[in-house]
Amino acid sequence: MKNRSIPWRMGLALFLFGGSPELLPPEILSAQQFGQPAIIPPPAASTQNNGTTTGVSPFAASQSGDRGSVASPVRPPVANQGTTDWQSRGSNSGVKNRNSSTANAAPLAHIAKVTPGGEVLPRTAGQVWRNYDISPFTSKFPKESRPQQEIIDWILRETGTDLWFNEPLGILNATSDTLRVYHSPEVQATVYDIVDRFVDPKAANDVLTFHVVTVGSPNWRSRAFSILQPIQVQSDGIQGWLVSRENAAVLLGELKRRSDFREIQGPSIYVPSGHTEFLHRTRPVNYIESLIPNPANPIAAMPMNGSLNEGYALEVSSLKSREGDLIEAVVKCHVNQLEKFQTVNIDLRNPLGQAQRSMIQVPQVVTWRLHERFKWPADKVLLLSCGVVATPGSTSNGLIPIPGLQSSGRADALLFFEVKRASETTGLPTTGGNAAATAVRPSVNSQGRY
């Protein structure tokens, strides 16, 4: 009988399949004849008498237990693999399987020392517990709008946030009808005053209106200088003045006669005491942010689009004093203006070695922000100038079409705040003029609120 030379791969297969070449599967014999590596198929699952399927242990004999039976062709297990699923070498699933033991491990034990709290709250600063009835204010709104958040906001603006998270222990909690406070008598007095201003029925008699305009040049100050009473403003680049109601009406009339005057928002948005109004007008601007491989055409790159929001957002919160002679307002304004796109040429080389030139865009954006709290006599008009700043407007490069803003994107933005009787605003619409703006309260987000 002629001797056959058996390669080492076939020798290993012969050992696995019982020592006879005739028992080798055809795919292994065929592969060996052409000098290719043999591929051992995955193990066949065995079926027990009850019909359930189970895995076969490595190098195990058949279920029959006969001496002449052939061992099942199975692959030796990989150490610490954590699963018997067959995975190809280098596959991501193999990495996942090796880490599966970590996922199934018990969680780490805590190392921080924790002791049970006492049944009595600490009174290191003579703290007392008080429940305040805020239902006269909150009952005017649906519970879903969480009107109690307005009260919490003004308390934190008045006391600061650190006072509630450091010594002595303090608690501030509100439901739709009750405000619960645990703090020193001095803090309780401050909270009491804030709550009184919210639940006072006379607070509904007056509202705060605001008017937003732009003037192309700041030279309007030369004619109005004598009627402007300057006030101190903390925000950089912001100027503020108090003007009598009569003089404010005259000033606004003169500004309207200028060719560079534009009205962004008329005095149709009003803010009742204890409320917050949100006015925003933005639109997304798309551009080519980067380049990524094209699944449909591997030899070409495809653009990855980016987007930025251009426009402005204005938020105004007001609260009147119990005496009715002072008004407080927190003004937050954020403006984004896209000036232009800087284009950058990118030279690429595809898998075939061919050169390809593509372009990406880098946005050139101008932004300014205002966030400050003001208090002034209710019989005066507060006038704020944000300086000659970026104003998102309709220009040749496709900016948001807010009527009247200069193509240069620069103008002196002016905000007029005036307290009026609620009866004077009965006929006013909720949005004014040609401003297609929205006034909605966003979801609660404490970042930057105070």
**Same domain as 324, residue 387:** yes
- Identify which of 73, 66, 70 has the alpha carbon closest to the alpha carbon of residue 28: 73
274 with 203: CB under 8 angstroms?
Answer: yes
**Same domain as 284, residue 171:** no
Give the C-alpha distances (Å, rounded to integers) separating 343 from 186, 287, 289, 302. 60, 10, 10, 16
pLDDT for residue 388: 83
Instruction: Provide the token pair at 118.
Output: 């006492």
Q: Pairing state of beta strands 171-174 and 178-183? A: antiparallel
**Same domain as 243, residue 176:** no
Instruction: Provide the token pair at 199.
Output: 């639940």
**Same domain as 287, residue 400:** yes
**Same domain as 298, residue 362:** yes
The alpha carbon of residue 130 and the mean position of all alpha carbons in its chain are separated, in whole angstroms, by 35
In a domain, 12, yes or no: yes
Instruction: Provide the token pair at 427.
Output: 């006929």
pLDDT for residue 409: 64
DSSP state for residue 72 in the 8-state scheme: P
Q: Residue 57: which H helix or E strand, with range?
A: none
In a domain, 88, yes or no: no
In a domain, 450, yes or no: no
CATH number at residue 190: 3.30.1370
**Same domain as 266, residue 164:** no
313 with 333: CB under 8 angstroms?
Answer: yes
DSSP state for residue 438 in the 8-state scheme: B
How many Cα neighbours within 13 Å face the side chain of 192?
10
pTM, two decimals, is: 0.67
Give the domain-ending residue among 151, 174, 199.
199
Q: CA torsion, points 280, 285, 290, 295, in degrees to nearest 10?
A: 110
Spatial CB neighbours of 307, under 8 Å, sequence gap ≥ 6:
284, 285, 286, 287
**Same domain as 309, residue 256:** yes
197 with 319: CB under 8 angstroms?
Answer: yes
Give the domain-ending residue among 199, 225, 245.
199
**Same domain as 264, residue 353:** yes
In a domain, 140, yes or no: yes
How are strands ordered across the β-sheet holding 261-272? 229-231, 239-244, 380-390, 410-421, 206-215, 261-272
**Same domain as 295, residue 176:** no
* Structural domain range at position 51: 8-82
pLDDT for residue 392: 52
In a domain, 371, yes or no: yes
Give the domain-ending residue among 181, 199, 217.
199
The number of distinct structural domains making up the chain is: 3
Map residue 66 onto helix, strand or coil: coil
Helix 26-33 with 8-16: angle, nearest 10 deg = 170
In a domain, 449, yes or no: no
**What's the CA gap between 386 and 333, in Å, rounded?**
10
pLDDT for residue 258: 94
pLDDT for residue 76: 43
CB burial of residue 265 (10 Å; 0-12, 13-18, 19+): buried
**Same domain as 177, residue 193:** yes
Mean pLDDT for each consecutive 10-residue tract of the chain (450 residues)? 49 49 49 45 45 39 40 42 38 46 79 89 94 96 92 96 94 96 97 97 92 92 95 92 96 94 82 92 92 83 91 93 95 89 89 85 90 96 88 43 46 93 64 38 50
371 with 236: CB under 8 angstroms?
Answer: no
How many Cα neighbours within 13 Å face the side chain of 271?
30
**Same domain as 233, residue 135:** no
In a domain, 72, yes or no: yes
**Same domain as 158, residue 63:** no
In a domain, 2, yes or no: no
